C-alpha cells in the first residue's frame, strides 16, 4: 500500500472550500475546481463528479480532472450501472484495486479511463436523498487504503449540501438548455453478457415493436398499377411466404409450426383483399390502398384484449410490406434482415425463427437474461447473441458496421481492422471442427482414468448433429417446451410423438431423457389461460402447470411413452417440490401406460422416472426422494436462483447470482451423497455444467454425469483430461469448509490463475 500524507486538514478547513467561489463564473466551473482540489489532497490523478437527475434516472458526468474534458455531459449511466452507478444504488463506497477486472466495470470509449487501475467511488447523499457520486482514480494498483475511504467519505459529506445547491442551479438552467445527449458516434464499445456464443460482423437492423415499419416505404403516387399488377403481387407474396415455410420446416422440423400461416391466411381473407380492391376502384392508387387497409387492420388488432391475437399486428404489417415491395418492384421482401445484426428490445421465439429464416448474422437483445428461452434458442440456431442495456443502440445508423463478439459479451461499434483481425483469428481457432472432434473421447475419462459421462442437452432436433459429432453419451435433457412455445395452441399427442420419435432415432442405442413441459417464469405460452402473475418464477410453472392442464400432460406423456417403444428413454419431471408431487406425476404415467395397453399401442413399459433438483425444499427430503425416484438431474440455473432468492433474468441483482455460493455447494454435496447412498444416478445440467472452470469443483463433489449444450462438449472433454480426482476432491473439501463467499472466490481464483 502506498503512503500518503495526512488528509485531515481538508476535512476541517472550510476556508479552502470557500475560496473555490473566488473568480468562479458558473456552477460547472465551481465543480471543476472541486475536482482539482481533491486530486491534490488525495494525491491521485483523477477526480470526477457525477450528478444524479432523478427525473431521467441518470447519473451525468459534470466535472472531471484527469479524464477527457469532452466527456463532460456525455457520460451517462443508470443507478446500478457500472461501479459508479453501483455506489449510488447501494449507497456505499466502492473500492477496486484493479477496476477493469470487476464484473461491474463499465467501459466508456474515448474518456481516457483505461490507464487507471485503482478506483474509489463514494455516493454524495443528504440523508437518503441521492445527489450524485464522486470518483477518484489512480494509475497504481491497490492504491486506496481503508483510511482513504474514510477520508473521502468525510469529504463528500462536507461537500454534499454545496454540491446539491450547485445541482439545483444547474438543473434550473438546464430547463432552458438541456445538456447534450451522448453522441452515438462516440459510442465505440459496449460490455454486455453472452447469450449465445459466436462472432458476427455486419451492419445493423433495428427490430421495432412490430418487426416492420410501414412508414419506411415511400409510396410512389405518380405511377399507376393495374389490378393485374396487384394480383401478381398477391401471388408472389404467397409464393415467398410458402417458400420460407418450406425452408424452415426442412431446417427445423420440430419448431416451425407453420409460423408463416397467419400471413398466408391474410392473403386469402376476402375482407382484407376486397378492402384493398374497393379502394382502388374508388380511385386510390394500389400502394396507397395497401397502406390504408393495413393501417386499418393494425388499429383493429391493437384493440383486441387477447395478447396473443394482438401480436398478429406483426403479421399484418409483414404482409403489407411484402405486398408493397412486390407491387412496386423492390425485391427486398426476403432480404430485410439478410446478413444483418438485429437489435431488438424484446423477441419472442417465433420472431427469432422468422429472423433465422432470413439468415441474420447475430442479435443484440436489450432485455431478458442470458439464460432466457430466446438465448437458448439462439444457441441451437447458432446465432451469436449479446444481452445488454444500451438503449441508444436503437438509434444507431443502419449503415454502421458492428462487430458482435458474443463469446465475450462485447459489442464493437465501427471497429478498426486490428480489433477485427484479433477476434476473427480467435474465432477461427474455436470453429476448427476437425480440431474440436480430436478433442473429444469416445469414452471420456479424467487424467487418472476415472470414467465420466458427457451427455447433450437438446433444444432442437438440429442439435443432434453436433451431439453425435462430439461423441455425446446420450441426451441428458431434451427440452420439450420449445415446440410448445412457437405454436398457437398446445400441440397434439400425434405432433409430439413424431418429434420425440425423431429424437430417439437420432441417437440410436443411447439413453434419451425427455423433460416434461417446463413452461412459466421467463418461458410463457401466449395461448395458455393462467394469465399474468406478479411473481411468475414462483407461480404456475413447470409440473404445476402440467397438473392444472392434465389433458395436456396426459397427451405429452402418451407421446413420450409411444416414442420410447424399443428404445432407452427416461422421463424427467421439472420443479418437483415434494414427494407428493412426484408420486402424483408417477401415477399419471402409470395411467397413461394402462390406456395405451388397453388400446393395443406399442410403448415403453417401465421407463425410468426422474426428478429435476431445482428447489431447496427437495434438499431436506433428498434421502427419501432418492429411495423413490430412479434418477436425478440438478438444474443449476433454477437451483441457484431459488437457493439465493436471485432472479437470474434481473440485471439489478446479477452480481448476487453465484454458482459457488457456500450454501449452493453444500446443498449439491448433500444431493450427490444421498443419490450415491441409494445407488441412483445424479447428473448436473444448466450453465454451470457448460463451464470448464466449475468442472473440477463438481467432480470433487462426486458428480460423474454432466449434460450440456453440444457445442460445449469439446472444451469439456479437453478440460476433463487435465484433471485428477484426488486433486478435485481436495479442492472441493477446502471450498466446502468456507462460509464466506470472498474466501471461496480467492480459492477459485488461485486455482484458475
* Backbone torsion region of residue 107, taken as left when φ is above 0, otherwise alpha when ψ lies between -120 and 50, otherwise beta: beta
**SS3 of 558, please?**
helix
Judge contact between 374 and 238, C-beta under 8 A. no
Cα 248 to Cα 257, 260, 381: the distances in Å are 10, 10, 12
Please state, in angstroms and rounded to a whole number, the distance separating the CA atoms of residues 452 and 682.
12
Q: What is the DSSP letter of 394?
A: G
Beta bridge pairs of residue 387: 193, 365
For cell 396426459, name the residue.
554
Number of CB atoms found within 10 A of residue 269's CB: 12
Rounded Cα distance, 99 and 136, in Å: 12
* CB 559 within 8 Å of CB 496: yes
Question: With contact defined as beta carbons under 8 Å apart, do 723 and 447 qualify?
Answer: yes
CA–CA dist 351, 391 (Å, integer) = 20
Integer Cα distance of 669 and 683 in angstroms: 12
Q: Distance between CA atoms of 494 and 190, rounded to whole angstroms?
A: 46
Q: Residues 6 or more apart from 568 whose CB is under 8 A from it? A: 474, 509, 510, 511, 512
- The answer to whether 116 touches 139, Cβ cutoff 8 Å, is yes
Q: Find cell 446443498 and name the residue.
A: 667
Do residues 523 and 373 lie in contact, with contact meaning Cβ atoms separated by under 8 Å?
yes
- Catalytic residue at 685? yes
Catalytic residue among 373, 388, 675, 728: 373
Q: How many CA atoms lie within 13 A of 638 on its CB side?
A: 26
Give CA–CA dist 564/570, Å, rounded.
Answer: 9
Distance between CA 424 and CA 406 in Å, rounded? 12
78: its cell numbers? 443508470
Q: What are phi and psi of 118, to 5 degrees?
A: -80, 145
Active site residue 373: yes
Q: In what order do the strands lie in the sheet with 46-53?
A: 76-77, 58-65, 46-53, 129-138, 118-126, 94-96
CA torsion sign for 394, 400, 405, 411 is negative
C-alpha 285/C-alpha 282 separation (Å) is: 9
Residue 190 to residue 400: CA distance in whole angstroms: 15
Q: What H or E segment, with its residue span, contains residue 521?
A: none
Out of 44, 675, 685, 728, the active site residue is 685
DSSP-assigned beta bridge partners for residue 136: 47, 120
Q: Which three cell numbers stand for residue 183?
A: 453522441
**CA 69 from centroid of its chain's CA atoms:** 35
Q: Which pairing describes strands 453-458 and 385-387: parallel, antiparallel, or unpaired? A: unpaired
What are phi and psi for residue 560, nearest 5 degrees? -65, -45
CB contact at 8 A, 474 and 455? yes
Contact of 556 with 571, CB cutoff 8 Å: no
- A 10 A CB-CB count for 627 gives 12
Catalytic site positions: 373, 685
Amino acid at each position: 500500500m502506498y503512503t500518503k500524507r495526512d488528509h485531515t486538514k481538508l476535512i476541517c478547513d472550510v476556508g479552502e472550500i470557500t475560496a473555490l467561489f473566488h473568480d468562479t463564473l458558473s456552477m460547472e466551473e465551481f465543480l471543476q475546481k472541486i475536482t482539482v482540489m481533491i486530486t491534490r489532497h488525495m494525491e491521485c490523478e483523477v477526480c470526477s463528479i457525477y450528478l444524479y437527475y432523478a427525473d431521467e434516472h441518470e447519473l451525468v458526468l459534470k466535472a472531471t480532472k484527469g479524464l477527457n474534458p469532452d466527456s463532460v455531459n456525455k457520460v451517462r449511466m443508470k443507478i446500478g450501472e457500472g461501479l459508479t452507478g453501483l455506489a449510488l444504488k447501494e449507497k456505499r463506497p466502492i473500492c477496486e484495486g484493479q477496476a477493469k477486472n470487476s464484473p461491474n466495470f463499465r467501459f466508456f470509449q474515448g474518456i481516457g479511463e483505461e490507464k487507471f487501475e485503482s478506483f474509489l467511488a463514494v455516493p454524495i447523499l443528504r440523508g437518503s436523498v441521492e445527489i450524485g457520486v464522486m470518483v477518484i482514480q489512480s494509475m497504481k494498483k491497490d492504491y486506496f487504503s481503508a483510511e482513504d475511504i474514510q477520508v473521502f467519505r468525510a469529504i463528500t459529506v462536507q461537500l454534499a449540501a454545496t454540491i446539491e445547491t450547485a445541482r439545483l442551479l444547474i438543473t434550473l438552467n438546464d430547463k432552458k438548455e438541456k445538456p447534450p445527449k451522448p453522441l452515438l458516434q462516440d459510442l465505440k464499445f459496449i460490455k454486455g453478457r453472452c447469450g449465445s456464443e459466436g462472432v458476427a460482423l455486419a451492419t445493423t437492423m433495428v427490430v421495432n415493436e412490430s418487426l416492420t415499419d410501414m412508414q419506411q416505404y415511400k409510396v410512389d403516387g405518380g405511377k399507376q398499377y393495374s389490378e393485374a399488377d396487384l394480383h401478381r403481387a398477391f401471388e408472389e407474396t404467397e409464393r415467398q411466404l410458402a417458400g420460407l415455410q418450406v425452408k424452415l420446416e426442412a431446417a427445423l422440423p420440430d419448431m416451425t409450426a407453420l409460423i408463416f400461416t397467419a400471413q398466408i391466411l391474410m392473403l386469402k381473407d376476402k375482407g382484407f383483399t376486397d378492402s384493398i380492391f374497393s379502394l382502388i376502384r374508388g380511385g386510390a392508387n394500389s400502394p396507397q390502398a395497401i397502406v390504408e387497409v393495413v393501417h386499418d387492420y393494425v388499429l383493429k388488432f391493437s384493440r383486441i384484449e387477447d395478447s396473443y391475437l394482438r401480436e398478429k399486428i406483426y403479421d399484418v404489417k409483414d404482409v403489407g410490406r411484402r405486398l408493397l415491395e412486390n407491387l412496386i418492384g423492390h425485391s427486398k421482401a426476403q432480404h430485410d434482415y439478410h446478413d444483418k445484426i438485429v437489435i431488438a428490445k424484446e423477441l419472442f421465439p417465433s420472431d427469432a425463427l422468422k429472423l433465422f429464416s432470413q439468415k441474420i448474422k447475430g442479435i443484440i437483445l436489450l432485455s431478458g437474461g442470458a439464460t432466457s428461452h430466446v438465448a437458448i434458442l439462439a444457441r441451437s440456431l447458432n446465432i451469436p447473441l449479446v444481452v445488454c442495456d444500451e438503449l441508444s443502440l436503437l438509434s444507431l445508423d443502419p449503415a454502421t458496421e458492428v462487430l458482435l463478439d458474443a463469446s465475450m459479451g462485447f459489442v464493437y461499434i465501427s471497429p478498426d481492422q486490428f480489433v477485427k483481425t484479433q477476434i476473427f483469428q480467435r474465432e477461427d481457432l474455436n470453429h476448427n471442427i476437425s480440431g474440436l472432434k480430436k478433442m473429444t473421447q469416445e469414452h471420456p475419462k479424467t487424467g487418472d482414468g476415472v470414467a465420466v459421462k458427457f451427455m447433450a442437452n437438446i433444444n432442437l432436433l438440429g442439435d443432434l448433429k453436433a451431439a453425435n459429432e462430439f461423441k455425446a453419451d446420450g441426451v441428458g435433457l431434451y427440452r420439450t417446451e420449445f415446440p410448445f412455445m412457437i405454436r398457437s395452441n398446445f400441440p397434439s399427442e400425434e405432433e409430439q410423438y413424431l418429434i420425440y420419435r425423431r429424437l430417439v432415432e437420432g441417437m440410436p442405442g443411447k439413453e434419451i431423457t425427455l423433460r416434461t413441459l417446463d413452461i412459466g417464469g421467463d418461458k410463457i405460452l401466449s395461448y395458455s389461460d393462467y394469465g399474468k402473475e406478479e411473481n411468475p418464477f414462483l407461480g404456475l410453472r413447470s409440473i404445476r402447470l402440467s397438473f392444472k392442464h392434465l389433458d395436456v400432460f396426459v397427451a405429452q406423456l402418451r407421446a413420450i411413452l409411444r416414442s420410447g417403444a424399443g428404445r432407452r428413454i427416461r422421463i424427467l419431471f421439472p420443479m418437483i417440490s415434494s414427494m407428493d408431487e412426484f408420486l402424483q406425476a408417477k401415477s399419471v404415467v402409470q395411467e397413461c401406460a394402462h390406456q395405451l395397453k388397453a388400446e393395443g399401442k406399442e410403448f415403453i413399459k417401465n421407463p425410468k422416472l426422474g426428478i429435476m433438483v431445482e428447489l431447496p425444499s427437495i434438499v431436506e427430503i433428498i434421502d427419501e426422494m432418492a429411495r423413490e425416484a430412479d434418477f436425478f438431474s440438478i438444474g443449476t440455473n433454477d437451483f441457484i436462483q431459488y437457493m439465493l432468492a436471485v432472479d437470474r433474468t434481473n440485471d439489478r441483482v446479477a452480481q448476487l447470482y453465484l454458482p459457488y455460493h457456500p450454501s449452493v455447494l453444500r446443498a449439491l454435496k448433500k444431493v450427490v451423497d444421498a443419490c450415491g447412498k441409494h445407488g441412483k444416478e445424479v447428473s448436473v445440467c444448466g450453465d454451470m455444467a457448460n463451464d470448464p472452470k466449475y468442472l473440477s469443483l463438481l467432480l470433487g463433489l462426486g458428480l460423474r454425469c454432466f449434460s450440456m449444450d453440444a457445442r460445449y462438449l469439446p472444451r469439456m472433454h479437453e478440460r476433463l483430461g487435465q484433471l485428477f480426482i484426488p486433486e478435485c476432491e481436495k479442492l472441493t473439501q477446502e471450498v466446502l469448509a468456507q462460509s464466506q463467499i470472498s474466501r471461496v472466490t480467492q480459492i477459485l481464483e488461485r486455482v484458475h490463475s
